Amino acid sequence: MMKSTQVKKTFVLGVLFVLPLVAYLFFASGVNNFGRLPIMTEAVEELPKNESAVVLANKISIVGYLGSDLSQRQVNMFNLNQKIYKRFSEFKDFQMLMVLPKGAEDQLAKVMQELSAIGDVKAWRFIFLTPEQIQIHFKSLQVPERLDATFGTDQVYIIDKALQLRGRKANEQDKALYGYNATEVSLLTKTMIDDVKILLAEYRMALKKNNQYKDL
């Protein structure tokens, strides 16, 4: 009986010693594997000069291309506002940036008036470019998607402060993820939110390392 008790004590002590070690190795591994959001494209072009003086450099940007027919993507904007913008808009260097063809100004004003009736939209950013400028900028993302006939897409993209496109590399279970379909609420909720969090944490860790931590 005493031998059995001693074995149990040894087992319990062993578990108490091993579990913290396993947990440490697991989380240490997680830092290496998940501590950085993968870079999909290293050199996205800066935005052309625009009346709003909006730029990508030194910002964490969610970039979308709405096209000239906003009736197709009003729901996308609602989804992004509710799931992404509301969660991250208070971060200093975060911006929600939408690119549109020139001539869509009146449509946008109407859509934003409707969105503002159900939530804060003051920090959304918009620029209006020629179709040629939109195509050139979109091409610089080097993504598999293409713009439609309105010069828009349902995909939105995460671009970091160094003008690098971030996403997810392909693995055994999933294909590479360059952008996030704004029509899919579950994708925004389960995947995009996590990816933006990872990128924000990455910058916070860099600031802490350099003793320069402050709210992004």
> What DSSP line would sit under 92-115, residue for residue?
TTEEEEEEEETT-HHHHHHHHHHH
Instruction: Give a yes or no: residue 92 inside a domain.
Output: yes
Q: Phi first, then psi: what are they for 168, rounded to 5°?
A: -130, 130
* Shared domain check, 130 and 85: yes
pLDDT at 31: 37
Helix (H, G, I), strand (E, B) or coil at 137: helix
Helix (H, G, I), strand (E, B) or coil at 160: coil
pLDDT at 184: 98
What's the CA gap between 95 and 127, in Å, rounded?
13
Instruction: Give a yes or no: residue 215 inside a domain.
Output: no
* Shared domain check, 56 and 19: no
What's the CA gap between 118 and 44, in Å, rounded?
33
Q: How many residues does the chain have?
A: 216
* Shared domain check, 110 and 16: no
Instruction: Give a yes or no: residue 214 inside a domain.
Output: no
Give first-to-last CA distance, the chain, whole Å. 61
C-beta neighbour count of 29 within 10 angstroms: 10
Q: Phi first, then psi: what are they for 213, rounded to 5°?
A: -65, 135
pLDDT tens string, the chain, 216 residues long: the values are 555 556 455 555 454 554 444 443 343 333 334 479 999 999 999 999 988 899 999 999 999 999 999 999 999 999 999 999 999 999 989 999 999 999 999 999 999 999 999 888 988 999 999 999 999 999 999 999 999 999 999 999 999 999 999 999 999 889 999 999 999 999 999 999 999 999 999 988 877 776 654 455
* Shared domain check, 191 and 95: yes
Instruction: Give a yes or no: residue 12 inside a domain.
Output: yes
Both tokens of 164, joined, read 């690098």
* Shared domain check, 70 and 118: yes
| Global confidence as pTM | 0.81
* Shared domain check, 43 and 23: no
Type of residue numbered 97: L
What's the CA gap between 102 and 50, in Å, rounded?
11
* Shared domain check, 66 and 51: yes
CB within 8 A of 36, min separation 6: which ones?
Answer: 198, 202
* Shared domain check, 147 and 129: yes
* Shared domain check, 163 and 70: yes
* Shared domain check, 19 and 59: no
* Shared domain check, 199 and 168: yes
Range of the domain at 111: 39-209
CATH code at position 172: 3.40.30.10
Instruction: Give a yes or no: residue 80 inside a domain.
Output: yes
Indicate the number of domains in the chain: 2
Instruction: Give a yes or no: residue 216 inside a domain.
Output: no
What is the DSSP-derived secondary structure letter of residue 129?
A: E
* Shared domain check, 74 and 162: yes
